[in-house]
């Protein structure tokens, strides 16, 4: 049996969240999606609130992953401990609230979702994502493993994918909000893409009002990110997994405007 797994790029602001709510379930029905992971760390621009996490889950996500803006909203901290579908990077300090992985049902299979954060140009003092992945995979409690690697450097994302090739069904990158044209299946059966893209305003700089971003680069004072209104896009990738071999057989990019 083949399973279609959808990974959705970073949801940015209220416009991106509304677009997800409007289009995720129709996309799941159209593509026969069995399991969905959504990165939600930018739902508030930087971070997300419990209410926004619940909206992403209600929109159709089976798991919601985060990244460097995990604690951008203070009220999310206790919520991370209470809700099993909401994951923060597993290689954060063990003292951080929440969990970095979870096991979820997908038909008669058990899916482990792992959230990791990169260390190149992301100053979070995180543990090594490579050895963290080794520890989580050694538990062997799931049938397949999916990895959201929230990282800046394309080299770090590719290196981790090759390191885990054949041990995880799929690994995708988030954080840079720009979709990459390198969807592929690695030699030992791991599906991969360097970055999913984002779910948010089309006419923006990574989801931010262009003029605000321009002023930032011109030396203007920083301020709370503002998302422009207007048309939005939902960007992501569908990984087709063979339930018998537990390997990825195809990777398809999707964009809904």
Query: Mean pLDDT highest for which of 25-39, 128-142, 203-217?
Result: 25-39
Least confident of 81-95, 112-126, 171-185: 112-126
What's the average model confidence in pLDDT over 15-23?
98
Task: Tell me the whole-structure pTM to 2 decimals.
Answer: 0.96
What pLDDT sits at residue 216?
83
Compute the distance between CA of residue 33 and CA of residue 31 in angstroms, rounded to an integer: 6
Quick one: DSSP state of residue 222?
P
Contact assessment for residue 192 and residue 159, using Cβ atoms and an 8 Å cutoff: no
Instruction: Give residue 32's region: left, alpha or beta (phi > 0; psi -120 to 50).
Output: left
Q: What is the mean pLDDT of the chain?
A: 95
Query: Using one digit for the tens of pLDDT, what is the confidence trace for 74-83?
Result: 999 999 999 9
Q: How far is CA 112 from the centre of its chain?
A: 14
Predicted pLDDT at 123: 65
Torsion angle in degrees (nearest 10) through CA of 78, 83, 86, 92: 50
Instruction: Output the CA torsion 113→115→120→125 (10° steps).
Output: -140
Q: Directed axis angle between helix 154-164 and helix 129-137, to 10°? A: 30
Domains, the chain, ranges and CATH?
A: 2-256 (3.60.21.10)
Annotated catalytic residue within 69, 150, 175, 177: 69
pLDDT at 58 over 80: yes
Specify the 3-state DSSP secondary structure of 5: strand
Q: What is the mean pLDDT of residues 69-90?
A: 96
Question: How confident is the model at residue 126, as a pLDDT?
Answer: 93
Predicted local confidence at residue 140, as pLDDT: 78
Q: Write out pLDDT tens, residues 181-200.
A: 999 999 999 999 999 999 99
69 is catalytic: yes
Is the pLDDT score of 67 beyond 80? yes
Average pLDDT of the segment spanning 33-56: 97
Per-residue pLDDT at 53 exceeds 80: yes
Percentage of the chain lying above the pLDDT 90 cut? 88
Each residue of 34-73: b (16+ CB within 10 Å) or e? bbbbbbbbbbbbebbbbebbbbbbebbbbbbbbbbbbbbb
Kindly state the average pLDDT of the residues 252-257: 98
Confidence of residue 124 (pLDDT cuts 50, 70, 90): low
């Amino acid at each position: 049996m083949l399973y279609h797994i959808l990974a959705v790029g970073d949801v940015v602001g209220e416009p991106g969240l509304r677009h997800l709510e409007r289009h995720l379930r129709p996309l799941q029905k159209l593509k026969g999606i069995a399991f969905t992971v959504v990165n939600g760390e930018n739902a508030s621009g930087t971070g997300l609130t419990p209410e926004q996490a619940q909206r992403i889950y209600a929109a159709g996500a089976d798991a919601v992953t985060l990244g460097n803006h995990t604690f951008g909203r203070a009220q999310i901290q206790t919520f991370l401990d209470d809700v099993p579908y909401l994951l923060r990077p597993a290689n954060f300090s063990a003292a951080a609230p929440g969990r970095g992985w979870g096991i979820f049902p997908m038909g008669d299979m058990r899916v482990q979702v792992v959230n990791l954060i990169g260390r190149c140009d992301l100053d979070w003092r995180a543990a090594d994502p490579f050895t963290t992945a080794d520890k989580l995979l050694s538990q062997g409690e799931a049938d397949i493993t999916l990895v959201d690697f929230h990282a800046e450097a394309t080299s770090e994302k590719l290196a981790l994918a090759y390191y885990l090739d054949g041990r995880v069904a799929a690994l995708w990158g988030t954080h840079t909000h720009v979709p990459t044209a390198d969807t592929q299946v690695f030699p030992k059966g791991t599906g991969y893409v360097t970055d999913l893209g984002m779910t948010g305003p089309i006419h923006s700089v990574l989801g931010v009002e262009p003029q605000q971003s321009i002023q930032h680069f011109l030396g203007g004072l920083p301020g709370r990110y503002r998302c422009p209104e207007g048309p939005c896009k939902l960007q992501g990738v569908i990984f087709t997994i063979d339930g018998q071999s537990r390997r990825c057989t195809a990777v398809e990019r999707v964009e809904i405007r």
